[in-house]
Structures are given as C-alpha cells and as structure tokens.
C-alpha cells in the first residue's frame, strides 16, 4: 500500500517520526483512516512534540496511547503522525523546524496550531479524521481556519495517558473531520457513549460576538438562524460581566504556570533552540510569580460556577470560534500577538470551565472559512455532536 508520505503534498504528516498501524477487526470505524498528532505515543516509536531536541532527548514509547488504541480497536487505521507546533505551544501552525502545513481552504494562510498537521490533513482529504489536542484552542482554532469540524471534549473525558502534556488542567484530546457524521462516530468511540441528551435552548454570547466584530457576526448569522430553527428563539447573554479579556488573563497565568511546571526543568537543562513566539512565551512563563497562582485558581472556580449556571438545563452557547479568518503566513509578530489575544479571549471560556466545545464549518469571509462554535455543560459532548450533525 502506498505510504501517506508519498501522497502528502501538504506537509501535514511527519517524516521524522512516521509510524502507521492497521486497524483491528471490523468495528464501528472500520474502513476509516486517521492521523494522530505527534504527541500521541505509538509503541516502539518516539513522539517528537514538534521539537528536534525533544525527539533527541526522549526514548521510544513502550505502549500506544489509550486514545489511539481505542480508535484502532474500533477498526480505524492510523496512517501517520501529523505535524504539531513546537511543544504544542502555539495557535499558528508555523513550525520553524518542520515547516507549515498547507491550508487548502485558505491558500497562503496558516492552518492554525498546535494541531496543524491534523487539521491540514483532514481539510486536504488525506485522511477521514485526525486526532489533535486542545489546551487553549488547538483543535477549535485550526478547525475554523481550515473549514472543518473540530471537537474539544469535556476535560478528562478522553484519556491523555501516553500523550505529551502541556498544561494538564486545560489539556484535552480532540478530533477533526470533514463530515459531521464521522465526527460523531469517532466521538462515540472515544467517549464510550452512544446516547445524547437533548439540547433545549440557545444562548448567544454577545460579548464574544462583539470581540469578533460585525463582519464575523454577519457571516455566522445564517448558521445561527439554522440553530434557532432547531432550538427556538435565542437569548442574548453576556458571558463575562468583567469582560472576556479578563478571563483570558486568568487562563494565560494558570496555563503558563502549568507549562513551566511541566517543562521548565527540561528547557533549563537542554536549552532548546525554540522558534519565534514559542521562545518568548517560554521565557515569560519562567517569570510567573507563584503567589499569583492561588488567586487565579479561585477566579477560575468562580468562572466555572458562572458557566455551570448559564448552561444548566440543556442550554447551548453559540459564539464565533475565533475572531476572524486564518491570518496570512509570516504575519508580523505584533499582528499575530494581537490576533492571538483576541482569539484566546473567546477560546478560554471552555478551557477555564472545562467544557466541551465543537467548531462547525458554516461560513466564509473573503473566500476563507470561519467557524461557529457551540458549547455545552460538562458531559454534554454527545449532545453537541448530535447538534452538529443535525445542523449540517
């Protein structure tokens, strides 16, 4: 059989950590092919984590990550490892060591990171679905940029054993598909759940739409109207009375502290040559004052309670996944940082409150994709997948 590396003209799959594993038996995913972000362990192979120096300083895995194993046992075939940003610490998908995967639906623009290869591979038709991971938005943002479906599950619902960590209290597995039906089928396997609760009412995050601006709101309105036809007249809500950028500050501090706790020792010992953006962010997380972490955790729990109240009784919150289309490749750092801040002000909601979120490919601006997201209460994952399928 032809290797995916011979067919991959998008730079989506890893040459340096290539591995492929056949599916087992004739399960619910039989006949489907998937890629796995290069942070998931495959027995006998190394995980590169987007970094040549990580690859050089770590051993091959003794066993395959359970999330991958579940997909294999459901009959799907893993055809290769997909590219990731360096240490999975970026939303761009521009890896200075291994290149930038091609975004086929927005030529000349970034695919988004850190699950860049997985999103690019699915969008480009190289596989039926792909595993990524989402800490701050690394499934949802690439899904929006590349015009595909992306699912971030409830925190803790899918095992992250055998997966390179970034910030564990935010880290989730995640997956992409071009088809909502396949997105749901993969969800049934990874979540171990068949039945979906009923979505009962629709909320519109007016503060999130305000951050995204009028052009995004107008582009997403037809999809909002379709959601309204399913769930009834939407209710406009303000998610964060103190402002979503303030929530982003809480997210940024807590995520940064966890990243340094996970990788500070390795960074200090190895002194890897980190690329632009990742280098500066890693330098910043090293300076976080531990005395700030406790109060930020208290604020996070308050945010969690706010979202629990908002989403009680089968409510679904709709908002733009990100505040615009994919930025151009090689955008200057100042512009990238500004967009990143606005994007994370939207993306941090689910991360802080540990909620499931699906990004749906419903619209275009200037010919480029833009996604609408739906968020449910903890455990409402299958409800979101069913709603995505009903909306397609």
**How many Å apart are CA 150 and CA 147, to the nearest integer?**
9
Residue 196: predicted pLDDT: 82
- pLDDT tens column, 70-90: 999 999 999 999 999 999 999
Residue 59 φ/ψ region, left for φ over 0, alpha for ψ in the -120 to 50 degree band, beta for the rest: beta
Give pLDDT, residue 85: 98
Q: Does residue 169 have an active-site annotation?
A: no
Residue 215 backbone dihedrals phi, psi, to 5 degrees:
-60, -40
**Res 171 pLDDT > 70:** yes
Calpha distance 230→199 (Å, rounded) = 9
Instruction: Give the Cα-Cα-Cα angle 101, 173, 204 (nearest 5 degrees).
Output: 90
Q: Is the pLDDT of residue 1 over 60?
A: no
| Bridge partner list, 315 | 201
Burial 316-336, CB ≥16 within 10 A → b, else e: bbbbbbbbbbbbebebeeeeb
Alpha helix (H) residue ranges in 147-277: 180-191, 206-212, 214-231, 244-270
Per the structure, the complete domain to which residue 3 belongs is given by: 1-392
Residue with the bigger pLDDT between 198 and 112: it is 112
- Is 51 known to be catalytic? no
Q: Residue 219 pLDDT more than 60? A: yes
Q: Are 98 and 83 in contact (CB under 8 A)?
A: yes
Question: Of the candidates 93, 86, 79, which has an alpha carbon nearest to the alpha carbon of residue 42?
Answer: 79
Average confidence (pLDDT) over 183-194: 95
Phi and psi at 377, nearest 5°, equal: -65, 165
Cα–Cα distance between 13 and 126 in angstroms, integer? 10
Provide the CA 201 distance to its chain's centre, in angstroms.
25
322's CB contacts (< 8 A; 6+ apart) are 137, 140, 141, 144, 145, 212, 343, 346, 347, 370, 371
For tokens 């999130």, name the residue: 208
Terminal CA-CA length for the chain: 33
Residue carrying structure tokens 């480029």: 368
CATH number at residue 233: 3.90.1300.10
Q: Is 360 strand, coil or helix?
A: strand
For the stretch 222-260, pLDDT in tens is 999 999 999 999 999 999 999 999 999 999 999 999 999
The secondary structure of 128-168 as a DSSP string is SEEEEEESSSTTHHHHHHHTSEEEEPPTTSS--TTB--S-T
Q: Environment class of residue 379 by beta-carbon count within 10 Å: exposed (0-12), middle (13-18) or buried (19+)?
A: middle
Closest by Cα among 109, 169, 102, 164 to 133: 164
Is 114 a residue of the active site? yes
- pLDDT above 70 coverage of the chain, percent: 99
The pLDDT > 90 percentage for the chain reads 97
Catalytic residue among 47, 51, 114, 144: 114
With 90 as the cut, is the pLDDT of residue 300 above it? yes
Q: What is the mean pLDDT of the chain?
A: 97
- Mean pLDDT of the 155-164 span: 98
pLDDT of residue 25: 81
Entry pTM: 0.97
Alpha-carbon span 224 to 273, nearest angstrom: 45
Angstrom CA distances, 132 to 18, 135, 141, stand at 16, 10, 12
How buried is 64 (Cβ within 10 angstroms: 0-12 exposed, 13-18 middle, 19+ buried)?
buried
Catalytic residue among 90, 138, 359, 373: 138
Q: Which of these is catalytic: 37, 51, 81, 359?
A: 37
Report whether 74 contacts 189 (CB < 8 A).
yes
Residue 216 pLDDT grade (very low, low, confident, very high; cuts 50, 70, 90): very high
Domain count, the chain: 1
């Amino acid at each position: 059989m032809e290797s995916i590396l011979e067919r991959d003209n998008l730079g989506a799959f890893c040459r340096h950590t290539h591995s492929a594993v056949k599916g087992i038996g004739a399960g619910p995913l039989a006949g489907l092919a998937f890629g796995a972000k290069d942070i998931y362990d495959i027995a006998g192979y190394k995980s590169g984590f987007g970094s040549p120096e990580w690859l050089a300083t770590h051993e091959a895995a003794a066993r395959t990550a359970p999330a991958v194993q579940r997909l294999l046992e459901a009959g799907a075939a893993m055809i290769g490892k997909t590219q990731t940003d360096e240490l999975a610490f970026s939303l761009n998908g521009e890896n200075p060591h291994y290149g930038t995967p091609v975004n086929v639906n927005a030529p000349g623009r970034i695919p988004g990171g850190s699950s860049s290869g997985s999103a690019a591979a699915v969008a480009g038709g190289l596989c039926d679905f792909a595993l990524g991971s989402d800490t701050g938005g690394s499934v949802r943002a690439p899904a929006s940029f590349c015009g595909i479906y992306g699912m971030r599950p409830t925190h803790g619902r899918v095992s992250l054993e055998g997966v390179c960590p970034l910030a564990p209290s935010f880290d989730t597995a995640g997956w992409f598909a071009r088809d909502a039906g396949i997105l749901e089928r993969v969800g049934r396997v990874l979540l171990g759940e068949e039945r979906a609760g009923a979505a009962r009412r629709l909320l519109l995050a007016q503060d999130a739409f305000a951050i995204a601006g009028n052009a995004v709101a107008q582009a997403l309105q037809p999809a909002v109207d379709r959601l309204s036809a399913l769930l009834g007249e939407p209710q406009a809500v303000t998610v964060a009375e103190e402002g979503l950028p303030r929530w982003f500050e809480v997210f940024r501090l807590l995520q940064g502290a966890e990243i340094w706790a996970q990788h500070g020792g390795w960074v200090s010992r190895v002194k890897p040559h980190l690329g632009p953006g990742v280098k500066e962010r890693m330098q910043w997380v090293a300076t976080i004052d531990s005395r700030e972490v406790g109060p930020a955790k208290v604020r996070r729990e308050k945010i969690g309670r706010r979202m629990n109240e908002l989403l009680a009784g089968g409510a679904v919150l709709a908002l733009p996944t990100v505040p615009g289309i994919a930025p151009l490749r090689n955008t200057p750092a100042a512009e990238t940082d500004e967009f990143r801040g606005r994007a994370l002000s939207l993306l941090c909601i689910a991360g802080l409150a540990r909620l499931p979120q699906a990004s749906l490919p419903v619209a275009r601006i200037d010919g480029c994709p833009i996604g609408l997201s739906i968020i449910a209460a903890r455990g409402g994952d299958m409800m979101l997948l069913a709603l995505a399928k009903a909306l397609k």
